[in-house]
Chains A and B, each alone.
Chain A
């Protein structure tokens, strides 16, 4: 099945540092969303970036989308221990199906 590839699979940083995670697809994608999943909980929507947007900000989050490279990145600035979670991208494919990435596990150490 189609899946997004997320890089890195795991990331460990110190509090206050920035965290960058990437998402790439083998198929064309349109709108792309990022979700956060805390341990033992459901996914929570973070941000949506549309296919005609290149960059979007929401608080400490910055998302980019490059449709020609079929990739997106999520930057979390000034990270906090509470940002420790798994982060997933999900893209809308041309077949109108959602394609989920495998996730990046982020650990922010106090």
Chain B
């Protein structure tokens, strides 16, 4: 069972470069989200999607874009990388949007360093 797959696992960028972090799930989940994890900050929600064609901002959306053209894929785009975006990024999914009692399934993360 693949679950939630994130690529790449590691990436180093220079300030100002752009890139896309990929996330795919094979569980037909409606809800997908992106988090960043920083020491001492816990998990912070960047963007989320409640279904194909629908996205919304989370707690820390600035500097990031998302799209949801299919149920399976939810890429995260860094438009112009900044050192403050150095972090570990996690994609997560759950079956039904709006249900806060559902377990989320996480990918293994992308470790991103911005120089």
- Please report A residues at the B interface, Cβ cutoff 8 Å: 1, 3-4, 30-31, 33, 40-45, 48, 50, 88, 90, 92, 96, 98, 100-103
Contacts and interface: CB of A to CB of B under 8 A. Distances in A.
B100 A30 contact: yes
Interface of B: 4, 40-45, 59, 90, 92, 98, 100-101, 103-109
A44 B106 contact: yes
A104 to B, nearest CB: 12
Contacts of A48: 101, 103
Contact of B106 (A30, A42, A101): A42
Contacts of B45: 98
Given A3-B42, A88-B43, A100-B43, A43 B101 contact: no
Given A88-B42, A102-B41, 5 more contacts: A1-B44, A31-B100, A42-B92, A42-B107, A96-B98
A96 B100 contact: yes
Contacts of A101: 42
Given A1-B59, A30-B100, A31-B100, A42 B40 contact: no
A43 B40 contact: no
Nearest to A99: B42
A95 B42 CA distance: 19
Given A88-B43, A101-B42, A102-B40, A42 B101 contact: no
A3 to B, nearest CB: 6
A43 B42 contact: no
A103 B103 contact: no
Contacts of A43: 43, 90, 92, 104, 106
A33 B4 contact: no
16 contacts: A31-B100, A41-B108, A42-B90, A42-B108, A42-B109, A43-B43, A43-B104, A45-B104, A48-B103, A88-B42, A88-B43, A92-B100, A96-B98, A98-B100, A100-B42, A102-B40
